[in-house]
Each structure stands twice: as structure tokens, then as C-alpha cells.
Amino acid sequence: MIKNDIVSRQNTPNILIVDDIPANLKVLGDILKGDGYKVRPVPNGTLALQAAEKEKPDLILLDIMMPGMDGYEVCRRIKKNPDLIDIPVIFISALNDTKDIVKALASGGADYITKPFQVEEVNARVKTHLKLYLQSKELQQKSKELQEMNVTKDKFFSIIAHDLRGPLGGLMGLAEIMADDSQLFTTDERKEISLSLSRSARNVFNLLENLLKWSQMQHGQIAFKPQILSLKVVVTECVKIAGESARKKAIDIIFSIPIGYEVYADLNMLQAIILNLVSNAVKFTYKGGRVSVSAKLAENNYVETSINDTGIGMKNELIDKLFKLDEHPGRNGTDDEPSTGLGLLLSKEFVEKHSGKIWVESQEGKGSTFYFTIPSRK
């Protein structure tokens, strides 16, 4: 089989041939298969529409004179379908009158070949329209990526302009108070201001840490080195780190992970996922509440980890915004802790890097449960 340059640099192009004469289907099919294309022959318009909707072709070769539904109508219906509208349709027909050709192009056809056809002509026109179509798809993909980059950039600017300014402003204000009027404060007041300074500094550090990781993730600069890990050991370490914030709010963090549960994951990414979700649960739980971490075996050799809290919960409208880059839930924690939502976006990307899933169930006033899956083996 000789493959042309279109086939060699792309996944095999998928061509749908529509003709009610079996001999024509065979001849065209043999020509195109010989050039390395995937060919799907169908004998009528109704089956053509069904086949196109089931598996979108990269190009359609369409006869005009067919029983039931002629080629003009088939093309018009294809062009009315938003999922199929961009597929190039080449009419191939024994009709050679100018009005027939004009009608075919007016119904949405990209080109017209008259029968009897020459093999070289079919190959040349198919190759040309496939090249144009694939280039168009590449441009659309690049446009989509550019839009996503702009959204990412806007998110960064939003965080820097709003979310980072707040805690930095508070940090500077507290520092100035301590520098100018510290002699006027009692020991307890100085201690309270010092604790506030510590909290503000930690909030700024956590935000900058997530920003750095997010930036590295977007530019492919974070190494992905999965290995077999004990989930219990990783959760234990993360709970220790989150424990300080929990103690300040008298929140119990309970975790029950079977000692034999292992996951195939990148250690740094898994720690970031668990720490972000546990810290988030603590942030939105009232003083004296509880956060629970548990795990169970899931389908297809995955482990499902859940982080449950007795916090403020969420409405469905807020849940829908959580993992979207261009949305900002915009609410602080129960102790007025700032929140950018960046930690959840980062967790989502890290989970998906492991081919896992992340989701949340919540009820306003009764708490939330975040779930994510990670493979248990390579």
C-alpha cells in the first residue's frame, strides 16, 4: 500500500462514499484504499447520514442520482448539521450539465467530478480537499488553544490584581502597625497581631506556590514521574501539614486508609491534590467541625479517595463553577480565609494527568465531599 503525505502525517483520513451502484462503490473504494485512506461505502442517502453522525468522516464522495433521497438533499442535510457542516463534500455524478453542477455547489458541495472519471483526477481532488480540511482543523485547534491561553492569562491577572493584592495589603498594614505603634499594645494584642501576620504571610505563600505550580503546568515544566506509593503514608503526611490550620479552628481531621492501598502516582502531584482538597475542606468548615479522608477500590484498577467535611456546603450553581478556569466562585472561608479557586483547578489538572477523575457532591449547610480517582497500578 502506498500512502500519500496526507496519510503519513495524520491519523488515517476517513472517507465516506455514497453511491447506489455497487460496482461504483467498489471501484472508488479500491482507488482510495490504494492511497492509504479508510473507506466506508454506503448505498443510499439515509445510511450516509446515519454513518456520518455515528463516525464523522473527513470527506464525502457523493452521487446525485439515487433512489429515495438524492445527493442534493443529502448534502443539504449534512450542511444543516452543526457537527457535520465543515465536512467537504465532493459530488461525483454522470450529470454534466452546468445547471446540475451549479445546483450541487449551491447545496453545499465543495467540488464536482463527472463520470466516467479518471483515477488521477479523483486522487488529486480528494488529496486537495483533505489537505484544506485538515489545515482548517489545525487552525481551529490553534485558535482554541489561543483562547484557552488568553483565559489563563486573564485568570493570572485577576489573581495578581485582586486576590494577591488583598493579603499583601493586609500583611503590609499589620507590619506598619507593629513598626509604628508596637509599644502601645499589650502582650496579648501583640500576640494577636503577630498571629495575624503569620496567617497573612502563609496565605500569600500558599497563593504564590499554587501560582508557580499552575504556571509550570501550563508550560509543561512539571516533571511527571509516577511510582507505586502507599496512599496511607501520603495522606498521613498531608494531614500533618494541614493540621495546623485545623487546630486553630478546633477541626478534627479523621482519616481511614487501608494500609495495603497503593497508587501509581507522581508523589509531588498526589501530595498537592490531597493537601489542596483537605486544606479547602478545613477552610470552609466552621470551628469545631470535622474533615474525613477515606478511600476505596474503584473499577478498572483505580483507587477512589474522598474528602468529606461538615462545612457550609454549596449550591449547584457554585458547584458548576468550581473547576472552570474562567469562573471565580469568589467566597472566603468560614474564618474569612481568602480563596482563589486555583488550588481546585490545579488539583483537577494533576488528577487528569494521572488519567483520573475529580468531582464533588455538596448540599448547602451540610457540607461537601470531593472525590478523585488515581490508578492503582502502572
pTM of the model: 0.53
Residue 1 has pLDDT above 50, yes or no: no
Residue 316 has pLDDT above 90, yes or no: no
* Pairing mode, strands 111-114 and 89-93: parallel
β-strand partners of 352: none
How far is residue 269's CA from residue 278's CA, in Å, rounded to a whole number?
A: 14
Residue 113 lies in a domain: yes
| Under 8 Å between Cβ of 304 and 298 | yes
- The answer for residues whose C-beta is within 8 angstroms of residue 243's C-beta and 6 or more apart is 253
Nearest to 170 by CA among 191, 197, 195, 208: 197
| Domain C-terminal end among 124, 140, 156 | 140
Residue 159 covered by a domain: no
Question: Please, is 16 exposed, middle or buried when counting C-beta atoms within 10 Å of its C-beta (0-12, 13-18, 19+)?
Answer: buried
Contact 89, 44 (CB under 8 A): no
Same domain, yes or no: 367 and 230: yes
- Give me the chain's average pLDDT, please: 85
Whether 148 maps to a domain, the answer reads no
Residue 71 pLDDT: 96
Residue 198's domain comprises 164-220
Residue 339's domain is classified under what CATH number? Answer: 3.30.565.10
Pair 215, 230 in one domain: no
Determine the average pLDDT of the residues in 271-278: 90
> What is the DSSP code string of 165-176?
HHHHHHHHHHHH
The yes-or-no verdict on residue 51 having pLDDT over 70 is: yes
Q: Does residue 349 fall inside a structural domain?
A: yes
Q: How confident is the model at residue 198, as a pLDDT?
A: 75
Report strand pairing: 89-93 vs 367-375: unpaired
Look at residues 183, 199, 220 and tell me which one is the last residue of a structural domain.
220
Nearest to 19 by CA among 84, 71, 68: 71
pLDDT at position 99 is 95
Residue 194 is predicted with a pLDDT of 78
Name the DSSP letter for residue 13. Answer: P
pLDDT at position 161: 54
Least confident of 221-225, 264-268, 351-355, 365-369: 221-225
Cβ atoms of 48 and 66 closer than 8 Å: no
Same domain, 230 and 242: yes
The answer to whether residue 129 sits within a structural domain is yes
pLDDT band at residue 175 under the 50/70/90 scheme: confident
Residues 216 and 240 reside in one and the same domain: no
> How much is the average pLDDT of 272-289?
92
Decide if 54 contacts 42 (C-beta within 8 A): no
| pLDDT-derived band at 145, boundaries 50, 70, 90 | confident
Distances (CA, A) of 295 to 234, 257, 261, 265, 373: 12, 6, 8, 15, 9
Phi, psi of 355 (to 5 degrees): 65, 30
What per-residue confidence (pLDDT) applies to 10? 53
Whether residue 329 is predicted with pLDDT greater than 70 in this model: the reply is no
- Whether the per-residue pLDDT at 57 is higher than 70: the answer is yes
pLDDT band at 218 (very low <50, low <70, confident <90, very high): low
When divided into structural domains, the chain yields a total of 3
Q: Is the pLDDT of residue 8 over 90?
A: no
The C-alpha atoms of residue 169 and residue 203 are separated, in whole angstroms, by: 12
Q: Are residues 50 and 119 in the same domain?
A: yes
328: confidence class by pLDDT, cuts 50, 70, 90: low
pLDDT of residue 327: 63
Question: Half-sphere exposure of 311 toward its Cβ, with a 13 Å CA cutoff?
Answer: 31
- Indicate whether 147 belongs to any domain: no
